[in-house]
Amino acid sequence: MPADAAPALPDGIVVVVKDECATCRTVVPVLAHLADSVPLTVYTQDDPAFPDGVPSLHDDDLAVSWHHHIETVPTVIRVVDGVEADRTVGWHRDEWERITGVAPLGPDLPAMRPGCGSMSVDPDRVAELDVRFGASVLASRRIDVADAEDDIEMMYTRGWTDGFPVVPPTEERVMRMLAGTSRAPSDVVATVPPDLVDVTVEKVAIAAVMAGCLPEYLPWVLTAVETACTDEFNMHGLLATTMPVGPVIVCSGPGTRAIGMNSGGNALGQGNRANSTIGRALQLVVRNVGGGRPGEVDRATHGGPGKVSFCFAENDAESPYGSLAVEHGIEPGVDAITLFAGEGPRCVVDQLSREPESLARSLAAALQALHHPKLVMAFDAILVMGPEHARVFADAGWGRDQIVAGIMAHLSRPGTDLVRGADGIAEGLPEAFADVPALPKFRDGGLMLTYAGGGAGLFSEIIGGWVNGDTGSKPVTRAVTY
């Protein structure tokens, strides 16, 4: 049957039912009465023997239900000359009598009862039925896989994976993924470097399927792709650098909790589906659409695990100093992501400081070594503060600005300590900086603060950045587009 050819309904009264619907079982005597009174055709969605004593046709593939938009059972339709003239859903005595022209109907039944959801609108089957019967909205090239061919191995052999197995993006899975956004599949999301290829919502959905995302993650992936493909973030430069850096996605807002993201224990690690797959989907878009593959445009000397996926949620609901997204101009309570060009995290251990001044000095000492102790202002950093460290500052009444200022107060060094050759180290700043009395480790706004992690452990994490500013990458924050 062609995808656009609906099975014709016979003239007379057509009723669609299913056995597992209590209302459908309730109206069986009414159906028996109608069968003796008018031309009646009954379609049953599940049990072909239902309804007992009433002739029925089994809509086993749900073709009738899908093509005729049955959303609730029982549905009663009056058909005249092959065309639907009227319908009602559920059990409403007056409506059934009006549509069928038979009265009285079901005098011993309640006047009305609501129906049940049709099997054709079951969320677990909608995508399957749309693919089977609908005119496809997908424009991507289809690839035939032989019965004897392993689809997982095929995708690895063709270079579509990040080294881990990916989920085969069947049409049904992609259709199901697209249900996660209101955006049209053909909408262009961004132009993806390095090959500068336009990527559509559909193509991002394919990557999200391959990464293992659920449909509710798709808006976050779409926003991450849009953000990564901006001039400010400079994804092309991030790929081309030999430093071990990649996109770090920091998510915030109530939506992070709605989709089950982890902002607590092991937030920067494995084990959470949303955290792991949202970041992975972005990387697969860059790889498969943009052409950013290791050993080609991706020139990282060492790389790092974060280049597979680095995505976590801020615990903005419990943060004593708000969120990074709000600091970057997003309204409180709005779902947002901040994209940062960063390396893998490194741990800061201080289990003894109970005063904010001491802890600020500890954090500054750890930050001083970032990339190199003698390199300053060229690199940004995110400090992911754990709850126990944050509590030290919160108990003392320090807010975000005071914490950053308190740390930065211990991050300035004289130029004589930082120039090339100082301390017998060739690395460093040009000799022209030797006369500068104090140089800060970070530019204004270059030290960013977020809150995440488990409740036990006096630890924080530092995520060091790539070269900042116009020659490198700037952190970019955007509200999530659904």
CB neighbours (10 Å) of residue 464?
Answer: 21
Predicted pLDDT at 4: 52
pLDDT at position 160, please?
96
For residue 51, is the peptide bond before it cis, meaning its omega torsion is within 30 degrees of 0? Answer: yes
Q: What is the domain partition of the chain in residue ranges?
A: 12-121, 154-479
pLDDT < 50 positions in the chain: 1-3
CB 381 within 8 A of CB 367: yes
CATH superfamily of the 12-121 domain:
Glutaredoxin (3.40.30.10)
Q: How far apart are CA 30 and CA 107, in angstroms?
A: 9
3-state DSSP assignment of residue 341 = strand
Helix (H, G, I), strand (E, B) or coil at 377: coil
- Using alpha carbons, select from 386, 367, 388 the residue that is nearest to residue 446: 367
205 by DSSP, 3-state: which? helix
What are the backbone dihedrals phi and psi of residue 145, each rounded to the nearest 5 degrees, phi first?
-115, 125
Tokens matching residue 399? 């807010």
Cα(10)–Cα(175) distance, integer angstroms:
32
User: Residue 13: what pLDDT?
Assistant: 98
Phi-psi map region of 155: left, alpha, beta (phi>0 left; psi -120 to 50 alpha): alpha
User: Residue 2 has what pLDDT?
Assistant: 44
Distance CA 225, CA 223 (A): 5
Contact partners, residue 255, CB within 8 Å, separation at least 6:
219, 220, 335, 480
- 158-171 b/e (C-beta count within 10 Å ≥ 16 → b): eebbbeeebbebbb
Distance CA 60, CA 125 (A): 13
* Cα-based angle 285, 286, 287 (whole degrees, multiple of 5): 90
Q: CA–CA distance from 116 to each of 62, 344, 355 (Å)?
A: 16, 51, 62
